[in-house]
Structure 1
Amino acid sequence: MIAKAKLLEAIAGKNRGLLTTESDKQAILSVIAQVEDQNPNPRPLQVPNKLDGNWRLLYTTSQDLLRIEQLPLFKLGQIYQYVRAREAKIYNIAEVYGVPYLEGLVSVAARFEAVSDRRVQVKFERSILGLQRLIDYQSPVHFIEAIEAGQKFAAIDFNITNRDQQGWLDITYLDDDLRIGRGNEGSVFVLTRN
């Protein structure tokens, strides 16, 4: 698909959105709209086997994520989203680098509920912020297995109970290796299967 290749070319070298100008953002959003128009799965929640899996963020306009880069002495590393469709669970993991031996991690676990053929309501349940070494972080998969086993970490690890800590996400494009979503705060997310 030409539009998909054009999108991947447009976001290459943009460091998930950190290195975009306003004109870059507008051009990328235009290409994203072209890709969305060619969505092979217009009802993505009816194909959970395609949604399910481990995803890596390629591009976003989410200031909540991109703001992590503004922490003094730290740089935003890879950002992952692991979707467990059958259990209606999502795990977001952002790796943070900078000062040697103080590599960090910001993670949020959530549940989701389908409210239409392409929209999910997301309710955040747990947040974990800590140093990778102290929580024995080896990989996203290993970390999620520990969360699912009920492990508590030597980190800022707390349950999110505030009813306001929720949102929605429209899955606007889904194929075997690319997913695009648009969130309730106007943010766009482009992810590739990891």
Structure 2
Amino acid sequence: MASVLQSPLPLSHHRTSSSKSASTSLSNFPTTHRICNLPALHRRRSCDFKNDVICQSSSGEVTFIEPPKSAPSKDDLDGSLKIKLLSAVSGLNRGLAASEDDLRKADEAAKELETAGGPVDLLADMDKLQGRWKLVYSSAFSSRTLGGSRPGPPTGRLLPITLGQVFQRIDVFSKDFDNIVELELGAPWPLPPLEVTATLAHKFELIGSSGMKITFEKTTVKTTGNLSQLPALDIPRIPDGFRPQSNTGSGEFEVTYLDSDTRITRGDRGELRVFVIA
């Protein structure tokens, strides 16, 4: 049988072919293959499935071969793993409500995304750090303190402190690295809670290809809500000679995953943090 890839036969040949011989020719092939045994002018139209299938012919039969399915792209894989990670940390109040099982699931989901993303090179991708990032999860918050794995004020005890949104503002040009924390401080009845925003200003420097070191400079506290008209209060950095050894004013962490809208870091005390661009 002629290959389906050959040029079509002359029209005169089709006109002189008897219907009986054409019927006999078609009956020799399985029904599923007859579509490609039509005259060549029709074969081109009937067998053109826009690469959905591939028609091949040999001396005895016509076969259909499905094209190989393409593997998922890296972007598709990263997107799927990001959804998995964000699903694992959703509803945990940024980690304050995380159980041991929640911590394990979040860590496993983060490791999958870190592995798929590959090594981070901040020297090449410095521009991706730029912007305001929202913290969606910190494993250290499961300690129920605002300091995470470091000493910090407790939440929900003698002086109720409600943690609001937490942001990081990074400027790659000035090397500014600010931690911005929204807090609600409880007050004796009938006074309303005091809403404040604390900005912990740092400078950062790179360590190797994926590490960052931040050095604390000062804290600025600004009231919001009903008392937003009050001026901001700057709390300067404590001199090193009076600073406790447990609070040196600096910290180091590694950026283990980074793209245009998601960032994962692991701190020097094993803290896992997940950020999304705000």
Scaled to the shorter chain, the TM-score interval is 0.7 to 0.9
Indicate the structure (1 or 2) with the bigger Cα radius of gyration: 2
TM-score between the two structures when normalised by the length of structure 1 = 0.82
- Aligned mates of 2:221, 2:90 — CA distance in 1: 29
More strand by share: 1
| CA shift digits 1:47-75 (9 cap, x unpaired) | 12111111000000234445556162321
In the other structure, the counterpart of 1:54 is: 132
Q: Which has the higher contact order (CA 8 A, sep 6+)?
A: 1
1:19-98 aligned at under 5 Å gives the runs 19-39=97-117, 42-63=120-141, 64-65=146-147, 70=155, 72-98=159-185
SS of equivalent to 1:70: coil
Give the deviation of 1:106 after TM superposition. Answer: 2.4
TM-score between the two structures when normalised by the length of structure 2 = 0.58
CA contact (8 A) 1:91 1:107 kept: yes
- Aligned mates of 1:117, 1:22 — CA distance in 2: 32
Give the deviation of 1:124 after TM superposition. Answer: 0.8
Out of 65, 87, 90, the position equivalent to 1:12 is 90
1:1-194 aligned at under 5 Å gives the runs 1-39=79-117, 42-63=120-141, 64-65=146-147, 70=155, 72-99=159-186, 100=192, 102-132=194-224, 136=229, 154-155=232-233, 157-162=235-240, 164-194=248-278
RMSD: 2.3
Unmatched runs of 5 consecutive residues or more in structure 2: 1-78, 187-191
Cα 1:81–1:4 change in 2 (3 A) is: same
SS of equivalent to 1:30: helix
SS of equivalent to 1:37: helix
Give the deviation of 1:32 after TM superposition. Answer: 0.7
Give the deviation of 1:167 after TM superposition. Answer: 1.3
- What is the number of residues matched between the two proteins? 179
Unmatched runs of 5 consecutive residues or more in structure 1: 138-152
1:171 maps to a residue whose letter is V
SS of equivalent to 2:95: coil
Give the deviation of 1:88 after TM superposition. Answer: 1.2
1:46 maps to a residue whose letter is A
